[in-house]
Amino acid sequence: MSSYDTNLFKEKFMEKLAKGYNLISRINNFNLSYDDLGEGSVPLIFLHGFPFSKQMWKEQLEFLKSSHRVIACDLRGFGNSIDEESVLSIDLFGDDLIQFMDYLNIDKAIVCGLSMGGYIALNAYKRYSDRFEALILCDTQCIADTPEGKAKRYKLIDEIALKGTEDFSKGFVNNVFFKDSLTEKKEIVEELRNVISSNSMHIISMGLRALAERSESCTILSQVNIPTLIICGREDQVTPLAQSEFMNKNIEGSILRIINHAGHVSNLEQAHEFNKHLHEFLK
């Protein structure tokens, strides 16, 4: 074996060793936590919603890891990607995504974002479209907050500063799940409640601020020229189905899949159907 072949073998071996759960990479001045499983020429990167963590994608990673390279990361400040100092913004999350791809030597990826993860995906696509192979937008929207919506988020920040996050977490969980899920899928509901509660008061407040100050991305929808899948729970009250229908209408060639008996976290509430739509799209 030549020295070139030996070095190549070592590089591939080290890449395999570097795959797994709860890995850490130092990017853009913070330690980003991520899971990296499976093999594939074009990775699928999952971006979670607010105020969740990469844990919300575990069913999708387990389902796809035998056929694709799948990566789920904790966004800056959330989960195990601890950052209590930075001023969070959708722009910053988008920059983090691209630097994370650079760190892993990923030229192009399929990016799947739910809710805030979708905002980040569209934001990054607007600025770095050449890094995207395809888009998957789940229970999300392209609009910015209305003045009323922005005021409501800042009111929540003030309430959290006075009372802590317990009331916020309880109300948030009740809003993101379809009503039947709250009674029939209590284990999933409790898991998500624990994920929300694990975030600091500071990070939840910073996340709300980032959502309130985000820019719209509706004006770029006509420029999206890559395969795009849009998934929405029929009972989503946070980013209603009408918003997904709007994106579907304005992204030429995009596919819309509606999941019954699901609210804002359709990948958790109806994981089997959600995974089926992912698999069909990836084929």
Give the domains, in start order, of the chain with CATH numbers. Answer: 3-282 (3.40.50.1820)
Lookup: tokens for 21: 């759960």
For 6-53, the pLDDT digits (tens) are 554 444 444 444 689 999 999 999 999 999 999 999 999 999 999 999
The answer for residues whose C-beta is within 8 angstroms of residue 125's C-beta and 6 or more apart is 111, 132, 135, 220, 224
Rounded CA-CA distance 239/220 in Å is 19
Q: Which helix (H) or strand (E) holds 253?
A: none
For 98-114, the pLDDT digits (tens) are 999 999 999 999 999 99
> Which residue ranges in the chain fall short of pLDDT 50?
8-17
pLDDT at 12: 46
User: For residue 190, with 0-12 CB atoms within 10 Å meaning exposed, 13-18 middle and 19 or more buried, which class applies?
Assistant: exposed
pLDDT at 85: 95
Lookup: tokens for 90: 């959708």
3-state secondary structure of 217: coil
pLDDT at 10: 46
What's the full length of the chain, in residues? 283
pLDDT at 14: 45
